[in-house]
Amino acid sequence: MSSGISILVIDDNKIRASIIEEGLRDAGHDEVILVHQMDGLVRQIADINPDVIVIDLENPNRDQLEHMFQVSRTVHRPIAMFVDKADSLSIEAAVDAGVSAYVVDGLKRERVKPILDMAVSRFRAFSKLAQELEDARTELADRKSIDRAKGILMKSKGLSEQEAYELLRRTAMNQSRKIIDVAQSLIIASGLLAD
């Protein structure tokens, strides 16, 4: 069943855009158009004539977009989302998630709200994923550094792997530092002192 609402998603991040698209399609919105390219955006919007525009907040073209909505005669007048002050929680949630939306004037808010909620939750999910990926990368890099530091200690002090790790851990505890910080400075120091 089609909702009959056409939605334009403007996002430089193609992965995030397709995550949102998928969510919207699952919710029964067939007319979802993704735009990554900012060139000729005004003409594209005029051609597509969307009912709802979802845009990421990192996009530097928001001022241009809002101006166009004010003056254009070719586009139906979209207005900023949640103009109703009672929606301050929704506004905060959206800005927090890094997304904004514009809605053609007159479209009933009951019909638009689920679309915006969807965009906000998908933006959040994407940020969480990106953060997890970043954490995983850091964790992997940390583990590699600790392994290297252990190797240095094993070689220079003739310790077993377990003893080397214990030494790192004790040093960190005594100095109230993280093991990774001790390992990194040990790697740098041994690099500087190596022949």
Instruction: Give which of 106, 171, 182 is closest to 146, Cα–Cα.
Output: 182
Q: How far is the CB of 70 from another protein (least distance, A)?
A: 7
Q: How far is the CB of 68 from another protein (least distance, A)?
A: 8
Q: How far is the CB of 98 from another protein (least distance, A)?
A: 10
CB closer to another protein out of 27 and 83: 83
CB closer to another protein out of 22 and 92: 92
Residues that bind another protein (CB under 8 A): 57-64, 66-68, 70, 79-80, 83, 88, 91-92, 95-96, 100
CB closer to another protein out of 46 and 79: 79
Q: Which residues pair with 80 in a beta bridge?
A: 102
CB closer to another protein out of 106 and 191: 106
Give, in order, the Cα–Cα distances in Å from 115 to each of 26, 174, 179, 183: 11, 53, 46, 48
CB neighbours of 25 closer than 8 A, spacing ≥ 6? Answer: 32
CB neighbours of 72 closer than 8 A, spacing ≥ 6? Answer: 42, 46
Q: How far is the CB of 174 from another protein (least distance, A)?
A: 24
C-alpha 31/C-alpha 20 separation (Å) is 13
